[in-house]
Structure 1
Amino acid sequence: MRTVLFYRDFRLFRGGHLKTWDYFNHVLASPDFAPRIAFSEKTRWNATNPWMNAREYVVDWHRFRHPDAFFIGGASWPMVDAHPDAGPDIPVLNIMQHVRHADAEIKRYAFLGRKAIRICVSAEVARAVTETGLVNGPVVVIPNGTDVEIVPAGAGPDRQVDLLIVAMKQPDLGRILAERLARDGRRIELLAERMQRTAFLARLRAARAALFLPNETEGFYLPALEAMAVGALVICPDVVGNRSFCLPGQNAFRPRYAVEELVRETESALALPPAAACQLLEHGRRTAAAHDLQGERRAFLDLLHNVDQLW
């Protein structure tokens, strides 16, 4: 059995940690590969850490010898260099979860010339890094998958909230939009602080529509896909990485990231006739079903079985 050694610096729960947890479990599900993971000294061990109840797989980075592959994020290249077994014979799987990897002003850009098998969570990320002309090694697109159960039409809890504003990354803008969109009788809930994922998904399930306020650029933006799965109308601005699955007029509203456009598109979503809303929601469910976690697992395990040829 071959071992894949992961590395994370977990201080606050973020989407990047969740996706690495998914990939860790993909390896765990394989009969041919075994995962191990090391953490930084500053890692926080609490209920938000997905590996809290998987401590038997945690190892010391420097003392765990002879891994068959490294699995790292874009900022963890110094850890590869520090490993006693690092060298040209051990493949490096580098997950790339943001279009910012192609930004020459950030530290991760300098690592694009390092040889790696780069796993991009969207075609937009792959395009961004490839267009730099610096990438050394194959670039593989595995679109993000979700394990959120798809809620059939007419099923699930009562929609107690008309509009959920997801503003953990943009709380000030969220407050502005909550005021702009307030109407008599309209039930609006603003999420401006981070919360555990189970609580967040429960809020999504209770919402008729969700207005997302991500960073101005993202590599994918999984919460919008999760909202499609649970049957909430999605209003999510164009943040580059969501262009492949947030499709205006088909399964979502995708305005330009500007206050007036966000207000206008959200009002349009809330005013949709029932038949049009049902059609948009059904297309959203189909999009979520096409991005299931099992599909992501199959693609990644196929890559692992061909890692020597790719390397």
Structure 2
Amino acid sequence: MTSQKRRVLFHRSWTKYNGGTSGGQLKVRDAYEHLLSSENYAPALYYGEETVWFDNPGNFWLRYRNEGLADWEIDEKDILFFAGKDWKVLDEKTAKNPPVPIVNIAQPRHTRPEDPRYDYLQYPAIRIAKSSVGKQILEDFGVNGPVFLIPDAIDFKLLPDPNPQPEYDLLIVGLKNAPLAEQLYKRLQNRNRWRRNKWKIKVQLPPKLPTRQDFLKLVNSAKAVVFLPLDAERGAEGFYLPALEAMVMEKLVVCPYAVGNIDFCLPNKTCLQPAYEPDALFQAALTALKLNEGARQGFIQAGKEISKRHDLPQEREAILGLLDRVDEIWADDTLFSSKKQ
């Protein structure tokens, strides 16, 4: 780190084999890499003592395994960049009265009392929301500190080129709702046999594939994709990258409303958006299978167009811009319900 650069301290940890492979880990890793290439900031990593490094190629932090700090020590000029359960690295006294600014990615589901991150919302922080509705939910809840909207972005260079000859007519992505995914798959296959259709249908059930590239390759193998994100009863999504990635890969997307996808999953424009219940999903899947090419292309082109708003350089610019204002924002006590310095 050079003296000209300000340190931004990250805290990460996991204890599960696939703990480093989630979308949340991906986006914090992206934020870390945005700062790595910046002129004004020097990101630094601390891995919690409970962290276990499994032989898992899907862990987004694997390349930075040897770059973790030996100790967690906050310098007076630091900025802390938190997401998820990163707050646990602070004792309660420090969390209530942070000695330095904290930037915190927060999700709408954190406002549910049963969520393990619920209590963190009382602590002062400059928060990042990923969707317009997510921002509103956090503000209406009354998080301690201002909320800024920075939508997730994708690295277009990592996406495979759209497959001109997909193997499957329909893929059901069911990692987050396996029982419903399996039910939908069986129902569509029964319809397939009963009507003597020749649709090729595939369902993805747990466990996760080894890497995100494996997942993207699977999505690219289908003509249309039904996504089953977290529903409202389980806290919904903060953003939901897979549906947007599928749009870039020119898939016809079927995706119910999941809060975080509101700004790019536009019903009957960029996707089919049935109610999140079995009959509606079944009918939407049938519509996707039967849709004529002209209508399908309409959805695909609208999806590709909206995806242009989510390019990685735009995300980088927004995060760096927020960090440039951190001291100004942190000093304005009117933006926080409680904060002592």
Fold conserved between structures, TM > 0.5: yes
The equivalent residue for 1:212 is: 227
Q: Which amino acid is 2:27 matched to?
A: K
Q: Which amino acid is 2:205 matched to?
A: A
Quote how far apart the aligned CAs of 1:64 are. Answer: 6.4
Change (3 A) 1:136 1:86: closer
Q: Is structure 2 residue 41 aligned with structure 1 residue 33? A: yes
Change (3 A) 1:159 1:75: same
SS in 1 for 2:291: coil
The equivalent residue for 1:236 is: 255
In structure 2, C-alpha distance between the alignment counterparts of 1:177 and 1:218, rounded to whole Å: 21
In structure 1, C-alpha distance between the alignment counterparts of 2:70 and 2:306, rounded to whole Å: 40
* Partners of 1:73 and 1:95 within 8 A in 2: yes
Cα deviations across residues 218-237 of structure 1 (Å, max 9, x unaligned)? 11111111101111111111
Instruction: Give the number of aligned pairs.
Output: 307
Q: Is structure 2 residue 9 aligned with structure 1 residue 5? A: yes
Quote how far apart the aligned CAs of 1:270 are. Answer: 1.7
The equivalent residue for 2:83 is: 73
In structure 1, C-alpha distance between the alignment counterparts of 2:31 and 2:324, rounded to whole Å: 14
Change (3 A) 1:9 1:88: closer
* Partners of 1:210 and 1:235 within 8 A in 2: yes
Change (3 A) 1:69 1:87: farther
The equivalent residue for 1:169 is: 176
State the structure with more CA Rg.
2
Q: Which amino acid is 1:68 matched to?
A: D
The equivalent residue for 1:51 is: 61
Cα deviations across residues 202-260 of structure 1 (Å, max 9, x unaligned)? 11112100111121111111111110111111111111211121001110011111000
Root-mean-square deviation (CA, aligned residues, Å) is: 2.1
SS in 2 for 1:131: helix
Which segments of 5 or more consecutive residues in structure 2 lack a partner in the other structure? 331-341
The equivalent residue for 1:178 is: 185
The equivalent residue for 1:16 is: 24
The equivalent residue for 1:297 is: 316
* Aligned match for 1:100, one of 109, 116, 124: 109
The equivalent residue for 1:224 is: 243
The equivalent residue for 1:117 is: 126
* Partners of 2:160 and 2:217 within 8 A in 1: no
* Partners of 2:131 and 2:150 within 8 A in 1: yes
Cα deviations across residues 56-86 of structure 1 (Å, max 9, x unaligned)? 4311342565561111114222313389999
* Partners of 2:224 and 2:254 within 8 A in 1: yes
Quote how far apart the aligned CAs of 1:189 are. Answer: 1.3
* Partners of 2:173 and 2:203 within 8 A in 1: yes
Quote how far apart the aligned CAs of 1:110 are. Answer: 2.0
* Partners of 1:80 and 1:86 within 8 A in 2: no
In structure 2, C-alpha distance between the alignment counterparts of 1:50 and 1:81, rounded to whole Å: 27
Which residues in structure 2 correspond to 1:263-274 (within 5 Å)?
A: 263-274=282-293
- The TM-score, its normalising length taken from structure 1, stands at 0.92
SS in 2 for 1:115: coil
Which segments of 5 or more consecutive residues in structure 1 lack a partner in the other structure? none
Change (3 A) 1:77 1:64: closer
The equivalent residue for 1:187 is: 200
* Partners of 1:151 and 1:231 within 8 A in 2: no
Change (3 A) 1:272 1:38: same
The equivalent residue for 2:338 is: none
In structure 2, C-alpha distance between the alignment counterparts of 1:258 and 1:138, rounded to whole Å: 35
SS in 2 for 1:22: helix
Change (3 A) 1:6 1:83: farther
Quote how far apart the aligned CAs of 1:276 are. Answer: 0.8
The equivalent residue for 1:287 is: 306
Cα deviations across residues 266-289 of structure 1 (Å, max 9, x unaligned)? 111221111111011001111111
Moved more, 157-166 or 77-86: 77-86
The equivalent residue for 1:257 is: 276
The equivalent residue for 2:336 is: none
* Aligned match for 1:247, one of 261, 266, 280: 266
